Chain A
Amino acid sequence: MPLAPVVVTGIGIISSLGNDFPQLMEALLAGRSGVCEVPSLDQVGGLRSRLAAIVNGVDPKQIPRKFRRSMSNMSVFAYLAGKQALEMAGYPDDRLDSGELGVFIGSTLGSTATSESFFKDYFRDHSLERMKTGLFFQLMGHSCAANVAQSLGITGRVMAPSAACATSCQAVGYAYEQIALGRQEAILCGGADEFHPLTVATFDIMHAASTGFNRQPNAAPRPFDSRRDGVVCGEGSGILLLESKVSARQRGARILAEVVGFATNSDTSSIANPDVGALVTCMHLALKDAGLAAEEVDYVNAHATGTEQGDIAEAEAIRQLFADRVPVSSLKGHLGHTMAASGAIELAVSIGMLERQQLIATRNLEQIDERCAGIAHLQQNRAQQVKIILKNNFAMGGINCTVILRSYLHD
């Protein structure tokens, strides 16, 4: 069965470094950091990390109350980013309810803030009498996807992949497959997450959250750096509009890039620590899917979150496939780790790099850890010809994911 070529025609972004795609690109090219001190983290007993990359300047009230009542912040972010992606793509309003447009958007969990506020009240007297109807809709595993579909009137397939930090990389990959198979004409895909102290705690209790730069927020996280000390949690949303090339060309849409390869696999060696072999296999499978050799890749956008073990394993896996020939960088040093949103935000930025033929370096990578050496780390932004980008995201639970992008050759 012939597969349909799949392209990206729209991008939407809500992030700590700007609430649309151009703002984010400008901030990243300027090397800015979205990380700040969060004084309220002092109030959480036992929590040592004080940093996060927080979204600013979003007014949820721009969303009609009927839709907003079932949304926590993560759905607000996903809705706004989804709307931006459709607008950038010029996707026609009369196709929203055609059944040919789908929504694949995931988050790590339903809203933790909503859960906390419900249980705080519930534990007063174990009464459900004050529970309002919007609660469940904010807690659902598919809250972001359902809210985006409902509020934008999208009637095609809805799916909410949830694989922690690999969530939105998977969402884009699954959307690519569905469109390639001809099951949908276009899919809004990506992820969203909202900041909550428990997310930081998840990493801190495993000694995987940054704690040594609490008074120097812009110095963390530090992917691949010898002084890296863990993750800085972030929030936001990244949404791409994927579309069949035929549909995009018929509409006369501007094509931003092609999605040409995808793979995801399960690493059963550990639920928490990545195995080099499984990472290599994932990247290799994505290259095979794209029909590309490792030699044809021009840049690797790494998952690299700034943890001790994750960065070493990823660097080694990249070294085995690409040696020191292909430039590698991570965007976590600028944006922190936006969890379920990270894959799609970083894919969006990768598309920005393809458009500008400009690679963005790893922020805070000053002294390369010798255990992460042997690959071509980017420590300065660099103008370079780029045609093929390989993008990784790896998640707790042993989930690996790789997507491959190609610059679109206009004819």
Chain B
Amino acid sequence: MTEQEVIELIDSSLAEEFELDRVDMTPEANIYEELGLDSLDTVDMVIVLEGAFDFKIREEEAVRAIRTLGDIHRFVLEKVADQN
């Protein structure tokens, strides 16, 4: 997968799960304040990403530090690179 394909899969998966408007999904967007997610959503976000990329990230410390969509992109890109 190219970097762009990874980002597209993240964004499309999250847009579907959380009914987000793709226009709002900029890398700078804060997932809580701007995209409207809450603590329950972040648990589900992990499950959605695990399903989309076939990896396990629930126990990763770095997940807790995620604030923006760009943070998610970077985190997942790193995990995908590690997998390869």
Q: Is the CB of A129 within 8 A of B50?
A: yes
CB-defined contacts of B51 to chain A, threshold 8 Å? 130
B61: Cβ under 8 A from any A Cβ: no
| B84 smallest CB distance to A (angstroms) | 22
B11-52 vs A, CB cutoff 8 Å, 1 = contact: the mask equals 000000011000000000000000010101101100100110
Chain A residues closer than 8 Å to B67, beta-carbon distance? none
Interface residues of A in 91-142 (CB under 8 A from B): 129-134
Q: Is the CB of A133 within 8 A of B40?
A: yes
Within the complex, the shortest CB–CB distance from B16 to chain A, in Å, comes to 12
List chain A residues, Cβ under 8 A from B47.
129-132
* A66 interface contact, C-beta 8 A: yes
Do B58 and A66 have beta carbons less than 8 Å apart?
no
Whose C-beta in chain A lies nearest to the C-beta of B19? Answer: A65
Give, as a whole number of angstroms, the nearest-CB distance from B19 to chain A.
5
B58 to chain A: closest residue by CB: A129
A-B pair number, CB within 8 angstroms: 22
What 1/0 mask marks residues of chain B from 42 to 77 whose CB sits below 8 Å from any chain A CB? 011001001100001010000000000000000000
Residues of A within 8 Å of B, CB-based: how many? 9
Q: Are A65 and B44 in contact (CB under 8 A)?
A: no
The listed residue (B38, B44, B58) touching A132 by CB distance below 8 A is B44
User: In the complex, are the beta carbons of A133 and B19 less than 8 A apart?
Assistant: no
CB neighbours (8 Å) of B38 from chain A are 66
A69 to B44 Cα, complex, angstroms: 11
**Chain A residues, CB < 8 A from B50:** 129-130
A69 to B43, CA, bound (A): 13
Are A133 and B43 closer than 8 Å at their CB atoms? Answer: yes
Contacts of A131 in B (CB 8 A): 47
Give Cα A129 to B36, complex, Å: 24
**Closest CB in chain A relative to B14 CB, distance in Å:** 13
For residue B55, give the distance in angstroms from its CB to the closest CB of chain A: 11
22 contacts between A and B (CB under 8 A): A65-B18, A65-B19, A66-B36, A66-B38, A69-B40, A129-B47, A129-B50, A129-B56, A129-B58, A130-B47, A130-B50, A130-B51, A131-B47, A132-B43, A132-B44, A132-B47, A133-B40, A133-B41, A133-B43, A133-B44, A134-B40, A134-B44
Could you list which residues of chain B lie within 8 angstroms of chain A, going by C-beta atoms? 18-19, 36, 38, 40-41, 43-44, 47, 50-51, 56, 58
Closest A-B pairs by Cβ, 6 of them: A133-B40, A132-B44, A133-B43, A65-B19, A133-B44, A132-B47
